[in-house]
Amino acid sequence: MGTALLYDEEMTKYKLLWVDAACKIEVPERLIVSYEALVRSGLSDRCISIPAREASDSEILLVHSELYLEAVKKTPYMTLEDLKEFTLQFGDVYFHPNIYHCAKLASGSALQLVDSVMTGKVRNGIALVRPPGHHSMHSAANGFCVFNNVAIAARYAKQKYGVKRVLIVDWDIHHGQGVQYCFEDDPSVLYFSWHRYEHQNFWPNLRESDYDSVGKESGAGFNINVPWNNVGMENSDYLSVFCHVLLPVAYEFCPDLVLVCAGFDSAIGDPEGEMCATPDIFAHLTHLLMNLAGGKLCAVLEGGYNLTSLAQSVCQTVQTLLGDPLPQLANLRGPCKSAVESLQCARSAHRRYWSFLKHATDPPMTDISTKHIKSAMEEEEKTEMAEEERCTEGKVWPEPPERLCPPVCSASVLPDDVACPDGLKRLSSSKDLEPLLVSKLKNRFRTAAVDGDGVTTFSRLYTLIEKLVANEIRNGLVLVPDVAAVMMCVVQDLTSDLVKRVLVVCVGKEKELDYVTTDGKVLVVQISSEDSEEQRSKYYIPVCLKKGCSDTSGFIQAVLGLLLPLGYEYNPDLVLLVRMPGSGVVDSMWQQLIGLLQGFAKGHTLVLMQVNEKACMGSTASALLGHPAPPLQDLQTPFPEDGDALERLRERLQADWKMLQTTS
Ligand SMILES: NCCCNCCCCCC(=O)CS
Ligand SMILES: [Zn+2]
For a pocket test of ligand 1, which of 137, 203, 275 has the largest count of ligand atoms closer than 8 A to its C-beta? 203
Cβ atoms of 307 and 30 within 8 Å: the answer is: yes
115 ligand 1 Cβ < 6 A? no
Q: How far apart are CA 608 and CA 412, in angstroms?
A: 10
> What is the arrangement of strands in the sheet containing 473-480, beginning at the earlier edge strand?
425-426, 408-413, 473-480, 605-610, 574-579, 502-507, 522-528, 540-544
Using the mean position of ligand 2's atoms as its centre, give its distance from the Cα of residue 269 in Å: 13
- Structure confidence at residue 393 (pLDDT): 56
Strand partners, 223: 191
With a cut of 50, list the residues of the chain below it in pLDDT: 367-370, 372-377, 384-391, 448
Summarised one tens digit per residue, pLDDT across range 547-556 is: 999 999 999 9
Q: How far apart are CA 167 and CA 191, in angstroms?
A: 6
Using the mean position of ligand 2's atoms as its centre, give its distance from the Cα of residue 573 in Å: 35
What count of residues does the chain have? 664
> What is the arrangement of strands in the sheet containing 124-127, beginning at the earlier edge strand?
48-49, 3-6, 124-127, 297-301, 257-262, 166-170, 189-196, 223-228
The one catalytic residue in 64, 135, 287, 350 is 135
- Structure confidence at residue 281 (pLDDT): 98
Question: Within 13 Å and on the Cβ side, how many CA atoms surround 396?
Answer: 1
Q: Which CATH class is domain 408-656?
A: alpha beta
Q: How far apart are CA 386 and CA 380, in angstroms?
A: 10
Rg (CA), the chain: 25
419 Cβ partners below 8 Å, 6+ apart? none
- Residue 424's closest CA among 614, 664, 564, 168? 614
CA dihedral 112, 114, 119, 120 (to 10 degrees): 110
Helix 29-40 × helix 307-321 angle, to 10°: 50
Note the CATH architecture for domain 2-325+339-368.
Answer: 3-Layer(aba) Sandwich (3.40)
Using the mean position of ligand 2's atoms as its centre, give its distance from the Cα of residue 517 in Å: 45
Q: How far apart are CA 395 and CA 566, in angstroms?
A: 29
Neighbours of 348 (CB within 10 A): 18
Using the mean position of ligand 1's atoms as its centre, give its distance from the Cα of residue 357 in Å: 33
Question: Nearest C-alpha to atom 7 of ligand 1 is from which residue?
Answer: 22
The single-letter code of the amino acid at 577 is L
Question: Nearest C-alpha to atom 12 of ligand 1 is from which residue?
Answer: 303
Atom of ligand 1 nearest to the CA of 302: 14
313 Cβ partners below 8 Å, 6+ apart? 264, 267, 279, 282, 304
pTM (2 decimals)? 0.95
- Residue 191's closest CA among 204, 181, 201, 199? 181
Q: How far apart are CA 400 and CA 213, in angstroms?
A: 36
* Phi/psi at 528 (5° precision): -155, -170
Helix 99-118 × helix 149-161 angle, to 10°: 40
- Residue 198's closest CA among 15, 348, 352, 381? 381
Residue 359 per-residue DSSP state: T
Domains 2-325+339-368 and 408-656 share a fold: yes
- Residue 155's closest CA among 111, 121, 192, 214? 111
Neighbours of 253 (CB within 10 A): 22
139 Cβ partners below 8 Å, 6+ apart? 64, 65, 67, 68
Using the mean position of ligand 2's atoms as its centre, give its distance from the Cα of residue 634 in Å: 34
Question: Nearest C-alpha to atom 9 of ligand 1 is from which residue?
Answer: 143
Q: Is 96 labeled as catalytic in the residue annotation?
A: no
DSSP string covering 419-460, please? Answer: PPPTT-EE----PPPPHHHHHHHHHH--SGGGSHHHHHHHHH
* Helix residue ranges, H only, 470-559: 483-489, 552-558
- Structure confidence at residue 564 (pLDDT): 98
222 ligand 1 Cβ < 6 A? no
- Residue 412's closest CA among 460, 454, 482, 458? 460
Summarised one tens digit per residue, pLDDT across range 321-362 is: 999 999 999 889 899 999 999 999 999 999 999 999 988 878
Using the mean position of ligand 2's atoms as its centre, give its distance from the Cα of residue 192 in Å: 14
- Structure confidence at residue 367 (pLDDT): 47
Residue 48, SS3 per DSSP: strand
Cβ atoms of 147 and 186 within 8 Å: the answer is: no
β strands within 59-163, DSSP E? 124-127
Cβ atoms of 283 and 317 within 8 Å: the answer is: yes
Say how far residue 403 (Cα) sits from the centre of its chain.
17
- Residue 304's closest CA among 153, 132, 180, 147? 132
Atom of ligand 1 nearest to the CA of 26: 12
Where do the structural domains in the chain lie, given as residue ranges?
2-325+339-368, 408-656
Atom of ligand 1 nearest to the CA of 203: 4
Q: How far apart are CA 295 and CA 122, in angstroms?
A: 10
For a pocket test of ligand 1, which of 26, 92, 145, 392 has the largest count of ligand atoms closer than 8 A to its C-beta? 92
- Structure confidence at residue 458 (pLDDT): 85
Cβ atoms of 343 and 171 within 8 Å: the answer is: no
For a pocket test of ligand 1, which of 144, 175, 309 has the largest count of ligand atoms closer than 8 A to its C-beta? 144
Q: What is the number of H-type helices and E-type strands within the chain?
A: 23, 16
For residue 132, the ligand closest to its alpha carbon is 1
Burial (0-12, 13-18, 19+ Cβ within 10 Å), 625: middle
Strand partners, 610: 480
Burial (0-12, 13-18, 19+ Cβ within 10 Å), 376: exposed
135 ligand 1 Cβ < 6 A? yes
473-480 vs 540-544, strand pairing mode: unpaired
The single-letter code of the amino acid at 296 is K
Cα distance between the two ends of the chain:
44
Largest CA distance in the chain: 88
Burial (0-12, 13-18, 19+ Cβ within 10 Å), 259: buried
132 ligand 1 Cβ < 6 A? yes
